[in-house]
Amino acid sequence: MAFHAYKLHECFNLKHYLKIPKELFLHPLYKDKLSSDSILLYGFLLDRLSLSIVNRWTDKDDSVYLYFTRKELQELLGLSDKTIAKAFRELRECELVHEEKQKCSKPNIIYVGKIQELPNDYFKNRKNSASSTGNFTALEPENLRSNNTNINNTNRVSSNSLKRDNRFYDNSDQYQNLDRFYVI
């Protein structure tokens, strides 16, 4: 099998992919409490949730639910029953999933919980990137020198390979104007 790199016009034309919210990796509510297996499981639950929305699977409160058997998840993720159970437990503890058992060995009804998003200014404050324990041997972020953007001219994209009639592809396969990202 040979390596084939994505071309410019193909980069955002991926048809089958999972969307995994970054908050699961960054938010203090989830960062140290969710394993990579539970984060991946949450991504697959969100994907299945979109199918439930299309099929209008809602309860009397208009909450969307889905069906996903443990066996399906084991085969899909290549994980054991014990690992799937642990991933569901971690998601339940973070209030990202709720299950209701059904009778007669029917699959559980699964509700996917909303993620608490990080505030918009989370990444603007450099002190947020420091460790909560403070036990770093490296310099703290507030003591580091910043990049002098007046010298480096970071407001301009210099690569002509990205620019094609001042446009690029976004996730919806539509052209977007690059002029809003840099000064010409």
Burial letters 132-164, b for 16+ CB under 10 A, else e:
eeeeeeeeeeeeeeeeeeeeeeeeeeeeeeeee
Instruction: Give the CATH fold of the 19-112 domain.
Output: Arc Repressor Mutant, subunit A (1.10.10)
Q: Which residue's structure tokens are 């991946």?
A: 40
Please say whether the beta carbons of 40 and 84 come within 8 A: no
Q: What's the CA gap between 181 and 41, in Å, rounded? A: 35
DSSP notation for 151-174: HHTTTS---TTT-BTTEEE-TTS-
101-141 per-position pLDDT tens digit: 988 888 999 999 999 988 877 766 645 454 455 554 555 55
Q: What's the mean per-residue pLDDT of the chain?
A: 77
**Could you give the CA distance from residue 142 to residue 164 in angstroms, rounded to a whole number?**
39
Domain ranges of the chain: 19-112, 153-184
Please give the pLDDT value at position 17. 81
- Residue 99 pLDDT greater than 80, yes or no: yes
Single pTM value for the model = 0.63
* Rounded Cα–Cα distance for residues 80 and 86 (Å): 10
